[in-house]
Amino acid sequence: MTFQELVSRVGGTVVVDNPDAEIGFAYASDLLSDVMGHCGDESVLITIQNHLNAIAVCTLAGIEAVVICHSRPVPDDMKDAAEREGVGIVTTPLSQFAASVALSDLKPSSR
Amino acid sequence: MFAIITVMRFDLHIHSCLSPCASLEMSPSEIARRAAEAGVDGIAITDHQSARNAPAVAECARRAGIACLFGLEVQTAEEVHTLAIFDTVERALAMTDWVYEAMPRRVNDPETFGDQPVVTADDDIVEMEWRILAMGCRRSIPETSAKVRELGGLYIAAHIDRPNFSVIGSLGAIPSAPDGSPYFDAVELSRTADESVWAPRAEGYAATRSSDAHNLDDVALVWTEADCEFSVAGLKAAFAAKATRLSPRITSFVR
């Protein structure tokens, strides 16, 4: 799935673009330690963690994009880090469950 | 007869250069100097998951002539930030060992999270901490609270007004034990929190306000006052009596 397709599936707003991302897997979690322990690469992370550390975890795990649920605002330091690290960010009014359903074509991410 | 009342003004939440997200200018010597200039009587250095700069902090606070307590900001299994604060370097380091036992065994990437230097009182680097201090440990709030009590420390719920990494943000409320006894001795409001909004949400806990400084300009920018000795026992008594006074909040970026 392309980043553009992901954005349209969740009815989202692009905060940081990642046009070249190829996304095959998805993981939904709000505990970053859990994400780091279980989420693999080529993934999208579905979460409400609108925090700089979420991008650091994406970098470590090889996560291509983050879907921030409930339209939580993305702070500038998180946005800057995502641009620097090449991680896409999209915000959506959907909940984590609703966003997961919208992306149910993707395979469960694991490592 | 006159009772001697000592007014203590303190900042209990300051990060040193050991915290990956803190500025490298935050050496213990600079922090102690800056805190003394800012007019606080006491400070606690609380780095993420570690008190390994506590020995340097003790020496620097002595040189600067300010009181000092030793702590760490434990990021619990619930991904809640909590302050564990002790009277001695030894106890803070014992707490650190206990937290380290439950940390991921992954090595920090300074490019991703930041550098984590352990330093001396003279700003020399002893070593770079290899653990990822930006990540949570596997200790829960109840376990951490019990360990802090065993080691004779203070346990404070950090920045309860913030949406991320706070008890209210992560758990929806301030948790207490099944028998109703509190896990925390006090709660912390961040520098921008409106006391009239957040003190009532502290559900009967004493409120503190601390800077959570990550750079020198922010050290002791806000503070808490109490009429007590600056020690775990003194603060514990002031918290139990809810006898704390908070500095005004910061409402803009203009200082």
pLDDT in tens, B222-241: 999 999 999 999 999 999 99
Is B165 within 8 Å of A31 when comparing Cβ atoms? no
Name the pTM for this structure: 0.89
Which of the four pLDDT bands, split at 50, 70 and 90, describes residue B31? very high
**pLDDT at residue B5, as a whole number:** 65
Class of the domain covering B8-245: alpha beta
Is A60 within 8 Å of B112 when comparing Cβ atoms? yes
C-alpha span between B165 and B175 (Å, rounded): 14
Contacts of B21 in chain A (CB under 8 A): 52
Which of the four pLDDT bands, split at 50, 70 and 90, describes residue B254? very low
What does the mean pLDDT of chain B come to? Answer: 94
**pLDDT at residue A8, as a whole number:** 98
ipTM of predicted complex? 0.72
Find the mean pLDDT for residues B98-127.
94
C-alpha span between B46 and B20 (Å, rounded): 12
Residue B255 pLDDT exceeds 80:
no
Give the total residue count for chain B: 255
Contacts of A37 in chain B (CB under 8 A): 104
Instruction: Show the beta-strand stretches assigned E in chain B.
Output: 7-14, 42-48, 67-75, 81-86, 117-119, 125-128, 154-157, 186-189, 206-209, 224-227, 244-246
Domain ranges in chain B?
Answer: 8-245
pLDDT digits (tens, 9 = 90+) for A20-60: 999 999 999 998 888 988 999 999 999 999 998 899 899 98
CATH topology of domain A3-104: 3.40.1390
